[in-house]
Copies of this chain bind each other. A is one copy, B any other.
Amino acid sequence: MRLGVLTSGGDCPGLNAVIRSIVHRAVTGHSDDVIGFHDGWKGLLECDYRKLDLDAVSGILARGGTILGSSRVRPEHLRDGVERTRGHVAELGLDAIPIGGEGTLKAARLMSDNGLPIVGVPKTIDNDIAVTDVTFGFDTAVGVATEALDRLKTTAESHQRVLIVEVMGRHTGWIALHSGMAAGAHAIVVPERPFDIAELTQRIGERFSAGKKFAIVVAAEGAKPREGTMEFDTGGTDVYGHERFAGIARQLSLELEERLGKEARPVILGHVQRGGTPTAYDRVLATRFGWHAVEAVHRGEFGQMTALLGTGIVMVPLAEAVETLKTVPQGRYAEAETVL
Determine if A220 is an interface residue (Cβ-Cβ < 8 Å): no
- Tell me the bound Cα distance from A318 to B157 in angstroms: 29
Q: Which residues of B contact A154 (CB under 8 A)?
A: 11, 63-65, 275-276
- Which A residues between 148 and 201 are near B, CB-CB below 8 angstroms? 148, 150-160, 163, 178-179, 181-184
Most chain B CB atoms below 10 A, which of A10, A70, A178, A276: A276
Residue among B29, B65, B267, B279 making CB contact with A271, cutoff 8 Å: B267
Determine if A104 is an interface residue (Cβ-Cβ < 8 Å): no
- Tell me the bound Cα distance from A69 to B158 in angstroms: 5
Q: Which residues of B contact A310 (CB under 8 A)?
A: 133, 309-310
A184 in contact with B61 given A25-B337, A267-B272, A271-B265 (CB within 8 Å): yes
- Tell me the bound Cα distance from A313 to B334 in angstroms: 13
Determine if A31 is an interface residue (Cβ-Cβ < 8 Å): no
- Which A residues between 295 and 320 are near B, CB-CB below 8 angstroms? 309-313
* Chain A, interface SS category: helix
Residue among B148, B160, B287 making CB contact with A272, cutoff 8 Å: B148
A68 to chain B, nearest CB (A): 9
Q: Which residues of B contact A147 (CB under 8 A)?
A: 276
A286 to chain B, nearest CB (A): 10
Q: Which residues of B contact A279 (CB under 8 A)?
A: 143, 279, 281
* Stoichiometry, copies per complex: 4
Q: Mark A1-44, 1 if CB is under 8 A from B, else 0.
A: 00000010011000100001000110011000000000100000
- Tell me the bound Cα distance from A274 to B29 in angstroms: 35
Instruction: Tell whether, in the assembled complex, residue B70 and residue A158 are in contact, meaning their CB atoms are under 8 Å apart.
Output: yes
Q: Which residues of B contact A64 (CB under 8 A)?
A: 151, 153-155, 158
Smallest CB-CB separation from A60: which chain B residue? B184
Determine if A340 is an interface residue (Cβ-Cβ < 8 Å): no
Determine if A288 is an interface residue (Cβ-Cβ < 8 Å): yes
Determine if A268 is an interface residue (Cβ-Cβ < 8 Å): yes
A158 to chain B, nearest CB (A): 4
Q: Which residues of B contact A281 (CB under 8 A)?
A: 139, 142-143, 182, 279, 281
- Tell me the bound Cα distance from A199 to B20 in angstroms: 24
- Tell me the bound Cα distance from A183 to B59 in angstroms: 10
Can you report 15 residue pairs joining A to B where beta carbons are below 8 Å apart? A69-B158, A139-B280, A139-B281, A151-B271, A151-B276, A151-B277, A152-B271, A163-B271, A178-B284, A181-B284, A267-B270, A279-B279, A279-B281, A288-B335, A292-B335
